[in-house]
Structure 1
Amino acid sequence: MSENNYLKKGLTTSQAQKYFEEGFHNTNHSNLTKSIPQIIKSNTWTLFNLINIVLAAMVFYTGDYKNLLFIVVAVVNTIVGTIQEIRSKRQLDKMAILSKSNVKVLRDNKLVEISQNDIVLNDVLLLNHGDQVPIDGKIVQTNLVSVDESQITGESKPIAKHTNDQITSGSFIISGSAYILVEKVGADTFVNKITNEVKHDNGNENNSKLLNTINKIIKVLTIIIVPLGIILFVSNLMHGNDVNNSILGTVAAMTGMIPEGLVLLSTVTLAVSALKLARKKVLVRNLPAIETLARVDTLCLDKTGTITTGQLKFARKVNMSDVSDEYLDKTIGAVIYADEDSNETALALKNAFKKPDLKINKYIPFASERKWSGADVENLGSFVIGAPQFVLPNMSDDTRQKIESYTKNGYRVLCLAKNQSLLQEKLDNPKLLSLILINDLIRPDAVDTLKYFAEQDINLKIISGDDPNTVANIGKRVNIPNADKMIDMSTVSDDDNFVKIADKYTVFGRVTPVQKKKLVKALQDNQHTVAMTGDGVNDILSLKQADCGIAMASGSESAKGISNFVLLDSNFSSMVNVLGEGRRVINNISSVSSLYLIKTMFSLALSILFIFSSHDYPFQPIQLTPISTFMVGLPSFLLALAPNYQRVTDQFYRKIFNVALPAAITIVSYILVIMYAGKMFGFDYMDRSSLNVLITGVICWIALFLVSKPINKNKLMIIIPTGVIFLIVFLFLGKLFDYVSMFELPIAAIALIIVLTAYPVLTIVQKLVVKVIHRYDKS
């Protein structure tokens, strides 16, 4: 069969089947999310969970089943993390890199509809207006087809395609139709190559400083507690202690050293924030990104889809001849309505001009190489609309200066000209009739949103594939600081210093996808935390490189699939909500996390001390449950959800040294005093451990006040009830948690002394610790 006949008839069914079996068929990109089994495995099979399971088995062996309560926190933490990740995955999986619609293909000399995954090499596709190109190929027949490649190049101008022209996956047919010979499928297509590059780039999966710090603490602790727990257990046995008591003491020490509630606090707080943002039409792809955005100091904006709507608006026409405005309106209307073109320029003009009742004898569509379209209008003549420098090569200096002036003011300038003869590919001395000025349509929320980010000391950059003059003017219209500092990136080579370029300029025009990524990387090399907005295939490399990627739902599916956030209503002002949520999360978790580390510190210290002691470990696992629940867990969760939108300050370590460390030292000191003083009063193990619980609870409650500063009415409504609940549980429900009664002498007197002296002792220890740390910092 000759090539001509083959292209007219397409493949036979048997030929297509053979290609498919040989692997030459189309596929969607590799899934950018983990599978559900992978998610369950990554959340379940952790060292943290393994330790808890082993400890639970040890407690189970003793038969003291109520001491198994600690395992509930680990289970809840695993379930919450898994559910949130699966929920995010399911929403993201709906966002395939290409649409899932069927395509028309020539098979056995007839058009049939098939799935995009069933396209094979050498198929012939028929694509019409509105279709997205699913493969890379060559146009073999066209009916005035025009293509939007802005998702790939960043250039928003339509491109006319002709027979034998190449066409790339990810682009859209915006007018006309074309038969396309499939030349590349699956992993070989442009879209999939970029996606695979992104897939193998670790990028921005987790840049959370706070969560990374918490995870590092937990990793170090999990490494320490296993050998320490074994040594403590063996030591207890060697000192002649009962096996069951040794197990319970060891488990109490080891569970006390793991701040398991801190992991759950972080997970749940971020999950709640993600749900709140979902109600505000923001999809959070991964939870740590909420915190990361709050730390961002540089925001890189893609012009189209972020600052502008991607639509154009007719501004005005400038009459450059002696004809009437009515005549200009008729001729402009005649040319733009001569074809059913639906690119943004055509739509902007059609929205501004009515369709005249004129007969069109001939029409020549827009082509990228000539930059104009035209029509022969019966009884009026031949007219063209296009780029002035292409339509009017011999324009006057005065006209050229006017056009440059309009361009510098941010207008896209077209011209209407009358051809001196019937319309041909080569124009015949066209006469300028009018300049047509078009504006990019600014998003209504852009000015206020960008003003807010600027007021938060976030450096704003615009990175776009469009002309830098146009982009700079857009920047000025939305009041971006230093928008006049612009550069044409087409003049920049790969060997140039991107770090200096990224620091020096605010507006970057004619940027390639690779250059976008390099600019983001250069900003990161300058010690900036970078967020990037985008909506096209050309943005996904930079979105992945950024610390935080933000995509519009109206943009490319690939951009949505790779970003940390997807603005589901394409409303950029939603980012204000995300920033606020991030700040609330960081500020609150940083503040209350020190409560969890109190138990970690004193458990670690006690474990080391009691290795060398013949006494049993001063707690059993269940005895600390009311403290973990009512003094730490419940209030910390409530405080973590409270409003707190101040700028982020790294108070995590400061709160540890100012609150957690002094509190832990105070608790350990009291426990040692109680242990040795208890001998004087004849207290047994349960008496001593109950007093240990009391002092631990009181110190934790004081610490709750300290981390909650500044105190307000809402915080008091959290702090005071938690103290009352603990007191009721300790005094009246003690048997459930292995506490002795505090209503008999001499233990009642000792308990009262503990309560009255706790605050002044903690204050003294806190001052000493701060003084030592301050002196150490100076040295």
Structure 2
Amino acid sequence: MHYSQKSGEEVLGDLGSGRDGLDSAEVHERLLRYGPNVLETAEAVNPLVIFFDQFKSFIIYILLFAVVFSCIIGEYIDSILILAILLANALIGFFQELNAYRSLEALKKIAALHATVVRGGEKRVVDAADLVPGDVLVLTAGDKVPADARILESVRLKVEESALTGESVPAEKGSGVIAENVQIGEQVNMLFSTTSVVVGNCLAVVVGTGMETEIGKISALISGAVDELTPLQLRLHRFGKRLGAVILLVCLVVFSVLSIQAFFTGGLTGQTFVAFLFIAISLAVAAVPTALPAVVTIALSIGVKRLLKKKALVRKLSSVETLGSCDVICTDKTGTLTENRMTVRYGWTMDGEIELQGIGYEPVGDVKGEPVELLFKAGLLCNNAELHQRSGKWELIGDPTEGALLTSGGKLGLKGTDKRIDEIPFDSERKMMSVLLQDDQGQFSVFSKGAPGHLLKHCSSYYRSGEILPLDQEAMSQIENQNDLYAGQAMRVLAFAWKQKDATEPLDEEGLTFIGFQAMIDPPRQDVLPAIRTTSEAGIRVIMVTGDYQTTARAIGREIGIESEVCTGHEIDNMDDAALTSVLQSGINIFARVIPEHKQRIVTALQGMGHTVAMTGDGVNDAPALKKANIGIAVGSGTEVAKEASDIVLLDDSFSHIVSAIREGRGIYDNIQKSIMLLLSGNFGEVLIIFLAVMTGMNLPLTAILLLWINMVTDGAPALAFSVDPYGTDIMTRQPKDAKENILPLDKLVLIGVLGSIGTGFALFLFSLYGGANGDGEELKLGQTIVFNFVVLYEVVLVFVIRRDYRVPLFSNWWVWAAVVFSVVVQLVLMYTPLRDIFKISALDGRQLLLLGGSALCFYLLCRGYAVLQLFFMKRREATFT
């Protein structure tokens, strides 16, 4: 039987304790038995692990193999250049992730928690880490609960549990016995570690410490969750394996053909064998997009910096693109979709309704309607909370509900100057509070507030238009209907009453005059509705997953545009995984009264359905699902546990930043895809040039060092410039990419094939034209120089052909133009300085340069002609389909 189902005395007996607490010897023995009251923390991040993680890519494995092989055959310059590129790529990713980790550490607020306990009949202040089961705690308003405990006795106790349960309103607590085994949010006689006492005080006995607390169980769930590969990592991994297989096949075919030819002609020697291997490795170098790892890393790093300006801290580079791929966002309600601050939305009296604008505790906002000041004066005076303005921010001391009443009175410009004479405090049975006040003129009056059903029992009249009228059945029905209307909208309704008194009469609560209601709610953030509308247009499903009540979740969902039936945690308990999947497939987007295990099951079910899931949240109860999701997003005001489990931390709580991050992720993916298109189009052409030359018995048109130069400079600079390309205007109106989709879909691969084939035809024609195909000495050198320069111009043309395919305006990115000019200038420097001797190329004359330019122009016109034909046939297919 759970502790909540036993009386306080039974729990003390089970724990071998009493109201005088434990003695020192028993505490020492239990510390040895149960261990300190601390959570097991993950090991600190090792910088070496972060560094070596940057090399986990199939493409990088191929390049590392190329480095080793180049060293074996003595091509040290090639190996050094490839290794330098890989090292630069690794360092960029390493410093980005290390800085993000350190930034997150800086966000943590380290504070030693203490607790007041009764030991040996005396009160003592001890370190929270030294608490053991059986210790008796003394807790008052403002204290943080240091361990899980069963309440023994309490006075007006309210506890803030939103980080654990997701409920917006502080939970009223008491010492009574609960007949059934219920969820955490309904265990009103229990206290849980990391929650806070808002109002009142209590005596409680510790029943769980360390990893045996509810937060400890959540920490265990987090540590058990396995990190998922991001969609980009999966796509690049698949791309790398397939590319590697193609490269190995092509190299094997070329090596085999050359070796067989030499064998039958009697020319196969050890020297020719090594030469054939060198040709094969040249093909590998040509095929592998050497600059790709650096391009991906830099594109993601630029996205990280953009997001940081928008108040989003990215802990891991690859997380940026994942947001662009996500098609489901599971979001907590309290603190993420809502303000996590109770706000009075309506005032109501028998004279009519008043609507109050504004959010938070700042007493600023429009008031629509004719307010009855007496109603808001009652909320202001029958109140024990305080509001203070510090550094431009309004801070609350006391109950958030009472803070909302102070704010509503402040919006009307009211001030509480009456002197309090006496008070009947609120308690959980009466559900009322009353105060006796004396105003500036010496008049005495009573103001009361409470739950409508309880307060109305003490009322015999009601207030309307300045008159006090008998509370008849008709008036009572009107009042009750209005209360039901607000309750149906998930509003928290407080009723207010008043009466005048003589100075000699003691404070009592009979014969009150009903004034009206103040209806409050934890309102949605102002930016949530447009943000969710944008995600809908982007094809992203938003699911609210909250620990709050069903009616509250439904009402908030209605306000922000999540229209759905509600599924509760209790219903999930009675479902197997298949049934839960069926519920998600049916379109239910609101889940209420859920616990951490439910959130994990929901995320797992969505992932099993093939979705890429982002989970947002701020509470301890969100952490396991944040860890399990493809990408976890913690809000800045959230708990450290949530931040530790997340991939991205929003430095403020604006939901709109999630939409900005999704847009950034999609744009980054487009730019990475453009870069891969450029790199592969060029590399495919280079491989095809060498492959066809070898197959037709020509000389080698490009040497390994020329191939490496093209890949590093001519490919690399424009591909890097794509990292800052502007995004398309349709980026948030198209559907998310399927996680199973390859990094380059079929239409892009066809385009690469066409462009590479056209470029190969031009290159081999020029190679033959200048005698390089079968010549030797200077003829071969000139032919290789011509091909080398044509491939550079061919890849410059590709830059603009590919950007046009992505509908990017021609002059929208000056970095691309700078990269193109840089490639051409560096090529000229290489050709007309002594550097040409290192690369074994010739200096071309004006006629040869003119022929190259004309060839590049013809190549561009052919590419444009293909694009026009492709568009024509695509429109015909669409017309036929329509």
TM bucket by the smaller chain?
0.7 to 0.9
1:731 aligns with 831
Aligned runs of 1:364-403 on 2, under 5 Å?
Answer: 364-367=425-428, 370=429, 372-375=431-434, 377=436, 384-392=448-456, 396-403=476-483
Cα distance in 1 for residues equivalent to 2:724 and 2:141: 49
Displacement of 1:727: 4.2
AA in 1 matched with 2:828: I
Report SS of the residue matched to 1:182: strand
Assess, with a 3 A threshold, how the Cα gap between structure 1 residues 17 and 56 changes in structure 2: closer, same or farther. Answer: farther
2:98 aligns with 86
Cα distance in 2 for residues equivalent to 1:417 and 1:774: 72
Assess, with a 3 A threshold, how the Cα gap between structure 1 residues 576 and 19 changes in structure 2: closer, same or farther. Answer: same
Displacement of 1:707: 0.4
Which stretch has the larger CA shift, 752-761 or 564-573?
752-761
Aligned runs of 1:538-687 on 2, under 5 Å?
Answer: 538-602=621-685, 618-648=701-731, 652-653=744-745, 656-669=748-761, 678-679=772-773, 681-682=775-776, 686-687=781-782
Report SS of the residue matched to 1:647: coil
- Residue-by-residue CA offset, 1:491-541 (whole Å, 9 max, x unaligned): 735446445544444554444444444555555566655444322223334
Displacement of 1:402: 1.4
Which stretch has the larger CA shift, 285-294 or 393-402?
393-402
AA in 2 matched with 1:374: M
Cα distance in 1 for residues equivalent to 2:763 and 2:437: 102
Once superposed, what is the RMSD of the aligned Cα atoms? 4.6
1:152 counterpart = 2:183: no
Assess, with a 3 A threshold, how the Cα gap between structure 1 residues 290 and 752 changes in structure 2: closer, same or farther. Answer: closer
Assess, with a 3 A threshold, how the Cα gap between structure 1 residues 647 and 220 changes in structure 2: closer, same or farther. Answer: same
Assess, with a 3 A threshold, how the Cα gap between structure 1 residues 409 and 770 changes in structure 2: closer, same or farther. Answer: closer
- Residue-by-residue CA offset, 1:430-454 (whole Å, 9 max, x unaligned): 8744322224344343344344444
Displacement of 1:269: 0.8
User: Between Structure 1 and Structure 2, how many residues are aligned?
Assistant: 764
Displacement of 1:608: 6.4
Q: Pick from 769, 785, 797 the counterpart of residue 702 of structure 1.
A: 797
Assess, with a 3 A threshold, how the Cα gap between structure 1 residues 658 and 731 changes in structure 2: closer, same or farther. Answer: farther
TM-score by length of 1: 0.83
Assess, with a 3 A threshold, how the Cα gap between structure 1 residues 344 and 376 changes in structure 2: closer, same or farther. Answer: closer
- Residue-by-residue CA offset, 1:393-450 (whole Å, 9 max, x unaligned): 79943322111223345642111357999999xx989874432222434434334434
Aligned runs of 1:459-470 on 2, under 5 Å?
Answer: 459-470=541-552
Cα distance in 2 for residues equivalent to 1:4 and 1:355: 50
Q: Pick from 162, 167, 184 the counterpart of residue 191 of structure 2.
A: 167
Contact 2:446 2:498 in 1 (8 A): yes
Contact 2:832 2:843 in 1 (8 A): no
Assess, with a 3 A threshold, how the Cα gap between structure 1 residues 284 and 645 changes in structure 2: closer, same or farther. Answer: farther
Displacement of 1:127: 4.6
2:382 aligns with 335
- Residue-by-residue CA offset, 1:57-111 (whole Å, 9 max, x unaligned): 4434555543321221111111112222222222334566x96432235478563
AA in 1 matched with 2:626: L
Report SS of the residue matched to 1:283: strand
2:51 aligns with 40
2:358 aligns with none
1:445 counterpart = 2:527: yes
AA in 2 matched with 1:404: D
Cα distance in 2 for residues equivalent to 1:448 and 1:221: 42
Displacement of 1:140: 4.9
Displacement of 1:634: 0.9
Contact 2:773 2:780 in 1 (8 A): no
Displacement of 1:189: 1.9
- Residue-by-residue CA offset, 1:470-500 (whole Å, 9 max, x unaligned): 444444444x2x64x4436267354464455
Assess, with a 3 A threshold, how the Cα gap between structure 1 residues 693 and 99 changes in structure 2: closer, same or farther. Answer: same
Displacement of 1:761: 6.6
Contact 2:490 2:552 in 1 (8 A): yes
Cα distance in 1 for residues equivalent to 2:374 and 2:729: 60
Assess, with a 3 A threshold, how the Cα gap between structure 1 residues 42 and 290 changes in structure 2: closer, same or farther. Answer: closer
Report SS of the residue matched to 2:714: helix
Assess, with a 3 A threshold, how the Cα gap between structure 1 residues 263 and 772 changes in structure 2: closer, same or farther. Answer: farther
2:465 aligns with none
Cα distance in 1 for residues equivalent to 2:840 and 2:874: 37
1:740 aligns with 841
Report SS of the residue matched to 2:54: helix
Displacement of 1:163: 5.0
Contact 1:95 1:560 in 2 (8 A): no
Contact 1:468 1:486 in 2 (8 A): no
AA in 1 matched with 2:547: G
Assess, with a 3 A threshold, how the Cα gap between structure 1 residues 477 and 288 changes in structure 2: closer, same or farther. Answer: same
AA in 2 matched with 1:641: V
2:359 aligns with none
Assess, with a 3 A threshold, how the Cα gap between structure 1 residues 607 and 141 changes in structure 2: closer, same or farther. Answer: farther
Aligned runs of 1:16-35 on 2, under 5 Å?
Answer: 19-22=30-33, 24-31=35-42, 34-35=45-46
> Please, which runs of 5 or more residues in structure 2 have no aligned partner?
1-11, 177-188, 352-370, 387-395, 410-414, 439-443, 459-472, 738-742
> Please, which runs of 5 or more residues in structure 1 have no aligned partner?
none
Displacement of 1:594: 1.0
Identity of aligned residues (%): 22
Cα distance in 2 for residues equivalent to 1:196 and 1:605: 54
Assess, with a 3 A threshold, how the Cα gap between structure 1 residues 726 and 341 changes in structure 2: closer, same or farther. Answer: closer
Displacement of 1:126: 5.0
Displacement of 1:273: 0.9
Report SS of the residue matched to 2:216: helix
Displacement of 1:570: 1.5
Displacement of 1:155: 1.7
Displacement of 1:751: 5.8
Cα distance in 2 for residues equivalent to 1:768 and 1:248: 40
- Residue-by-residue CA offset, 1:9-51 (whole Å, 9 max, x unaligned): 6553x65555555562233344398543332332246665555
Assess, with a 3 A threshold, how the Cα gap between structure 1 residues 766 and 364 changes in structure 2: closer, same or farther. Answer: closer
Contact 2:690 2:701 in 1 (8 A): no
TM-score by length of 2: 0.74
Q: Pick from 207, 217, 227 the counterpart of residue 230 of structure 2.
A: 207
